[in-house]
Amino acid sequence: MAISKAKRAAAAQKAARTRKRNAAAKAAAATKAKASRRRKATATRKGAAPKRSAAPKRKAANRRAAPKRKAANRRAAPKRKAANRRAAPKRKAAKRTR
């Protein structure tokens, strides 16, 4: 069963269109991948320099923060103790009066 020339031509055109579409899609994907690769590369290049300076910054922040926390505890503990010292005699006095 021979295919007519017109049908064969139509099929060939359709195949060509499909090939072209696939090629275009592949090219688009390739350009997108290339762009993302370039973006990642620039990001790593950008991130590489500040990261070195960022770690010491974080450490410095911790150094600054830790004493603050310790100082707060030191300030808070005596207050609590003083409050207890003040409260205890009151309770005892109340018991004594009854």
54-65 as b/e: b if 16+ CB within 10 A:
eeeeeeeeeeee
Q: What is the pLDDT of residues 60-90, one digit of tens each?
A: 555 555 555 555 555 555 555 555 555 555 5
Q: What are phi and psi of 50, to 5 degrees?
A: -65, -30
68 vs 20: CA distance, rounded Å: 68
Q: Residue 93, Cβ neighbours under 10 Å: how many?
A: 9
* Global pTM exceeds 0.85: no
Q: What is the pLDDT of residues 36-62, one digit of tens each?
A: 999 888 887 776 655 555 555 555 555
